Structure 1
Amino acid sequence: MPDNKHITHPADAKRIDIHDLHEVRNWCQGFGCTEEELNNAVAAVGTWADDVREYLKK
């Protein structure tokens, strides 16, 4: 994600950067999950957004 925090979309909309708090909040809002659930999903399936989305559906 860019340093400009006014830009709310991720720099790479296909991957999740769990080290960027603004991006994590945006992904959590989009997926309807908590930060813990997002971190668990990324740990389980990696950083590809489509894989995380499928994991969270289960």
Structure 2
Amino acid sequence: MKANELKVKSIADLDQELLSLTKAQFGLRMQVATQQLSNNSQLLKMRRDIARVKTILTEKGTQQ
């Protein structure tokens, strides 16, 4: 997911995206705990995507 794609979304869409990413991150953390996740880089990628969404939400919040 790229920041340019996120900038064109509305705040409601970004909130929904953040919720879905957070749920997906929880699922990945459970897979790590049960040693079912073979690709640990997915967890790092998910954290970075969540950070991107939060950053864009903060930027949009300060513009208004």
TM-score (norm 1): 0.32
Q: Between Structure 1 and Structure 2, which shows a larger proportion of helix residues?
A: 2
TM-score (norm 2): 0.30
Report the structure number with the largest CA radius of gyration: 2
